[in-house]
Structure 1
Amino acid sequence: MNVLINKKQITAYTAILGLTGSLLAGCVSSDKASNANSAANSDPASTAPVKLSYWVAMPADAARSVKSFNEVLFYQELEKKTGVKIDFQHPAIGSETEQFNLMIASGNLPNIIESDFTKYPGGPEKAISDKVLIKLNDVIDKNAPNLKKYLDEHPEIRKDIVTDDGTIYVFPGIGIGNNAVSGGLVLRKDWLDELGLAVPETIDDWTNVLRQFKEKKSAKTPFTIRLNDLNTQLFNGAYGIGYEFYMDQGRVKYGPYEQGYKNYLTQMSAWYKEGLIDPDFATQDAKLLDAKVTNGSAGALFTYIGSGMGKYLNSTPGKDGKFDLVGAPYPVLKKGEEPKFINKPYEYRGGGSAGITPSNKNVAATAKWLDYHYSNEGHMLKSFGVEGQTYNMVSGYPKYSDLILKNPDKLSVGEAMSKYLRVSTPSPGLVGDDRYADQYYVYKQQKEASVTFSKHQKNANDVLLPRVSQTPEEASELSAIMAEVTTYQSEMFLKFIMGAEPITNFDKYTAQLKNMKIERAIAIKQAALDRYNKRK
């Protein structure tokens, strides 16, 4: 199924974006630029010349072709348009958290830090009290008309990026688009076709398919997966429980403490005992999993549309040239039910958000520069680049050029996007444009999987715990409780599935969780949710 946007969808999409003017107009020259609000109030060039330091982790795709974001076309063009010079500081890949902590401890802060401050120890409030971030309410009101307009028109996003007392602390990465779910369950479509099987929807369907793969296709590991991926939103949702904290009609619950978790573990244990789940799931790495997919040992897996499906479809024709993949909907227990527990990202991505630090002596200029990311022109530049170079307008639709889709330096689509744009990972501004996703997914099977995985993404809002924040005291207590709970829960998860612990001991397991104060942890989350619901 092709997800190219028709005219009605474009109209709706532009309305959702909440920015004046057509996104389809492309990047006009700076002397003709028209942002969402008055150009006189939002023109970032009026503050030049300014030099700012900017700490941000380098995505792996970008690191393969550039040493700094200063080499990325988007930022080069942004400097030309604004006159603002950015000195990027990138931590070494793999040591981002360590380097972030060292930077905060040193007190030697750059002017801008891009990070996920929802994960800051003690929460965003603590980042402000630690003098790592400044409050942005007045700054945005005076210097960021594009972001201000978006937040005024999308109060649910504003609610997500403020502390409980209403303080805005970042310029956020905001998700848009109708196909936000980037990963899910994938099967060998050629095997399904050969065996006359439909794509599974229910748990019973999955049991039948995996048995057929084992018996009739001699699959040694019918369903292969890695531990971290199994312990996420997948089969658990069929049993009405989340894999961690979630929301049930306004009440916070912890999935592994619920009775539905017992039913989920019972099914996973049965599959494992029958040889339907990869026996190596707890220890195997990505390389071993890839090998099982490509050599025909496995017929189903969890993977991502871009990095997984694209890789396999590109490099694995199969012995008979019939290798094919298909995405399956998130599983349910009974046919006709709609899934709710889906790996849908938050609209406020958390990661890819930029905070201004107290070391910044050019706060107004910085805010105007960041605000450009939320303008029509800024969104097009960040997501599609320069017309005639990285994209061309075709019937009002920005089509990536061969520099992106068929890169002459043999870069993958993701790598080429990372070299020239800032679109493949969350970053300040709007992310997840459907027109980007439709082209990032090169294969028809990827486009179809994107639609399948995201079909019921709105249902996730019923169970997805909002981005609540604990007080520093609560955060400290919660961290101590969950460190013990998570370790125990992870150990018992493996024991139950592998049969080392009988399911009949489930009540003893939940009693131990209670002893570890899981109910206090739930109460802390509930208090945070109650405060979140009062935010304005």
Structure 2
Amino acid sequence: MLHYREKGIVSLLKSTLVVCAMLSLTVACEDTAELPVRHSPLNDSSPYPSSLTYWVPMDTDAAVTLKSYGDMGLYKQLTKITGTQVTFLHPPIGAVPAQDQFHLMMASGELPDVIYTDWSKNSPDKAIQDGKILRLNEIIEKYAPNLSRLLNEKPYLRKELTSDEGNIYMFPSIGDDPQIFAYHGLMLRKDWLDKLHLKPPVTIDDWEKVLRAFRDGDPNGNGRKDEIPFFYRQTDMETSYPFIGAFGITTGFYQEDGLVKYGPAQPAFKTFLTLMNKWYAEGLIDRNYLTSDIKIRDGRMLDNQLGAVAGWAGSGLGAYMQAMKAKLPNFSLIGVPFPVLKEGGTPISLARPLIIGLGAAISAKTTHPERIAAWLDYGYGKDGSILYNFGVEGQSYTMKDGKPQYTDLILHNPAGLTISQALSSYSLQSSSGPFATDPDADKQWHADPEQADAMIKWSKADHSRALPNGLLNAGEQEQFASIMADLLTYKDEMVNKFIMGAEPLSAFDEYVRKLNKLGLHEVIRINQTAYDRYSRK
């Protein structure tokens, strides 16, 4: 994942102005230094609020067809059921990351009723201490029977959801089926493999052989050496477990036999960097990776130039297969297992099931949190599960033999939308939200044999070394964030220099010493202390 760092302290006035800009899509800001606090009016005949405000970044697939989540089939139907009018506040998609806009909103103190973000990166205990969001333990127990029942039936979910200080702070996005969380991995061109008489790679050596063949063998058949064997982006360093896991480490903090370690400081990381430096020098990975983005990646895939990439089963593999059917009938993209050093080994992955940190918190500024809790709880019940996973009956799904089935509007969209784009007009199933993912829904929209096969292969990795979310208490979170701001900046800079050859690999030991000077030993100690507490729960 990307690590966002807040730079400096912003003044209240500046924060307010930025928040005004963020809310401009849905709410007009007053010409004063303060925004009005939004409350939740009561309707005594209903357990739900009459209205609420909801801050949530919009999913990129949803943004293709929707201007606001208020236009989504799910929320239109939920309004009919609950009577709650929701004003969605989406941070503008643009140069300022949503995480930075979140920090500015929190600094302003003028908060909506519901705040949806990745709380594993945003110090929920401190937010509770600072009076920004509410502790939800008692509220969920009294006013959210569906989620409460789920947490009682599956105590491991409650443990995962509870912070180190004992706080439940959000209505979570839950997915505890292995095939659900293994939705991202390596994929490559099967038609190129067939043309060059190659088998899908298993080991790192196999990958090197395949990438060289993609570079030199003219698999796209245009007579030019314009193929990019593997499309690598800088952000892949945050999720490049597809290759780094072969070396028994990860790109961040993890635990091995109960000991917390930091992957980029391990000796094996030097071996990994040596490989990436070699692949970069030989043109096996994209040499323009520092400036590449998803638009460039998609364009090159659709121009028949990419041999392999790390991506999503739905919006990646499935979308590419769908888009290339008419353009290039022989186009074939398959998922492959994460590589290992020796055949028979098991790669390491940081992909983690259960609760991934994304969820909806209730603002401490709201006046009737119990009614908002009841509204958020709807997604965890039987009817709510169908609504959040499948959307609107008769439009995005129909009932068949007592079970919801996606319609052709979703699976074979007449307007040419990908499945994830079409589904995002009606439900949150293809993104995330405050509900529990239905494994059957997930399998339906990943129904192509290539997608199902890819997710099975991606799930075959060791996911046990990932650290749980919400380990650190408020004081530790603050100390951790302070140290990691400079440490990550230096780490990212040096990693790129090592890969691109601007810094020799002989400088790796000095790089590790600098990490320690920047506080690496201390953040490992912080995580170790927190992990030990978690293990004793």
| TM interval, short-chain normalised | 0.7 to 0.9
Instruction: After TM superposition, give the deviation of residue 174 of structure 1 in Å.
Output: 0.9
> Is 1:222 paired with 2:229?
yes
CA distance in structure 2 between the aligned counterparts of 1:363 and 1:287, rounded to whole angstroms: 41
Query: In structure 2, what residue type is equivalent to 1:464?
Result: A
Q: Which residue of 2 aligns with 1:17?
A: none
Query: In structure 1, what residue type is equivalent to 2:397?
Result: Y
Q: Which residue of 2 aligns with 1:89?
A: 89
More deviation in 357-366 or 89-98? 89-98
Instruction: After TM superposition, give the deviation of residue 390 of structure 1 in Å.
Output: 1.9
Q: Which residue of 1 aligns with 2:204?
A: 203
CA distance in structure 2 between the aligned counterparts of 1:257 and 1:410, rounded to whole angstroms: 46
Q: Which residue of 2 aligns with 1:21?
A: none
1:14-413 matches, cutoff 5 A: 46-47=46-47, 50-94=50-94, 95=96, 96-120=98-122, 123-179=123-179, 180-217=181-218, 218=225, 220-232=227-239, 233-316=241-324, 321-342=329-350, 344-351=351-358, 353-413=359-419
User: How many residues were matched structurally?
Assistant: 484
Instruction: After TM superposition, give the deviation of residue 324 of structure 1 in Å.
Output: 1.2
Query: In structure 2, what residue type is equivalent to 1:517?
Result: G
Deviation string, structure 1 residues 182-240 (Cα, Å, up to 9, x no partner): 22111110121222222111111111211222232356432221121144212111111
8 A Cα contact 2:392 2:426, kept in partner: no
Cα gap change, 1:437 to 1:45, in 2 (>3 Å): farther
Cα gap change, 1:145 to 1:319, in 2 (>3 Å): closer
Query: In structure 2, what residue type is equivalent to 1:213?
Result: F
User: TM-score, normalised on structure 1?
Assistant: 0.84
Deviation string, structure 1 residues 147-185 (Cα, Å, up to 9, x no partner): 111111222221222222312111111113331222211
CA distance in structure 1 between the aligned counterparts of 2:469 and 2:361, rounded to whole angstroms: 17
Instruction: After TM superposition, give the deviation of residue 45 of structure 1 in Å.
Output: 7.3
Instruction: After TM superposition, give the deviation of residue 348 of structure 1 in Å.
Output: 0.9
Cα gap change, 1:377 to 1:489, in 2 (>3 Å): same
CA distance in structure 1 between the aligned counterparts of 2:99 and 2:271, rounded to whole angstroms: 37
CA distance in structure 1 between the aligned counterparts of 2:510 and 2:127, rounded to whole angstroms: 39
Q: Which of 423, 429, 444 is the matching residue for 1:423?
A: 429
Cα gap change, 1:55 to 1:276, in 2 (>3 Å): closer
Cα gap change, 1:426 to 1:443, in 2 (>3 Å): same
Q: Which residue of 1 aligns with 2:439?
A: 434
Q: Which of 455, 462, 474 is the matching residue for 2:460?
A: 455
Which ranges in structure 2 are unaligned for 5 or more consecutive residues? Answer: 1-43, 219-224
CA distance in structure 1 between the aligned counterparts of 2:506 and 2:297, rounded to whole angstroms: 32
Cα gap change, 1:103 to 1:219, in 2 (>3 Å): closer
Query: In structure 2, what residue type is equivalent to 1:480?
Result: S
8 A Cα contact 1:56 1:89, kept in partner: yes
CA distance in structure 1 between the aligned counterparts of 2:340 and 2:49, rounded to whole angstroms: 57
Cα gap change, 1:401 to 1:452, in 2 (>3 Å): same
SS of equivalent residue, structure 2 residue 228: coil
Instruction: State the identity as a percent.
Output: 42
CA distance in structure 1 between the aligned counterparts of 2:185 and 2:164, rounded to whole angstroms: 34
Instruction: After TM superposition, give the deviation of residue 245 of structure 1 in Å.
Output: 0.9
SS of equivalent residue, structure 1 residue 429: coil
CA distance in structure 2 between the aligned counterparts of 1:235 and 1:98, rounded to whole angstroms: 30
Structure with the larger RCO, 1 or 2 (CA within 8 Å, 6+ apart): 1
8 A Cα contact 1:170 1:355, kept in partner: yes
User: TM-score, normalised on structure 2?
Assistant: 0.84
Instruction: After TM superposition, give the deviation of residue 380 of structure 1 in Å.
Output: 0.7
Q: Which of 482, 485, 495 is the matching residue for 1:483?
A: 485
CA distance in structure 2 between the aligned counterparts of 1:428 and 1:369, rounded to whole angstroms: 11
8 A Cα contact 1:219 1:296, kept in partner: no
Cα gap change, 1:389 to 1:314, in 2 (>3 Å): closer
8 A Cα contact 2:143 2:373, kept in partner: yes
Q: Which of 458, 464, 467 is the matching residue for 2:466?
A: 464
SS of equivalent residue, structure 2 residue 398: strand
Instruction: After TM superposition, give the deviation of residue 329 of structure 1 in Å.
Output: 0.4
Q: Which of 515, 531, 534 is the matching residue for 2:533?
A: 531
Deviation string, structure 1 residues 81-109 (Cα, Å, up to 9, x no partner): 22333333333224533443333233222
More deviation in 80-89 or 230-239? 80-89
CA distance in structure 2 between the aligned counterparts of 1:72 and 1:470, rounded to whole angstroms: 36
Q: RMSD of the TM alignment (CA)? A: 2.4
Query: In structure 1, what residue type is equivalent to 2:106?
Result: I
SS of equivalent residue, structure 1 residue 222: strand
Cα gap change, 1:472 to 1:320, in 2 (>3 Å): closer
8 A Cα contact 1:145 1:371, kept in partner: yes
CA distance in structure 1 between the aligned counterparts of 2:231 and 2:68, rounded to whole angstroms: 37
8 A Cα contact 1:219 1:298, kept in partner: no
SS of equivalent residue, structure 1 residue 419: coil
More deviation in 142-151 or 274-283? 274-283
8 A Cα contact 2:187 2:336, kept in partner: yes
SS of equivalent residue, structure 1 residue 135: coil
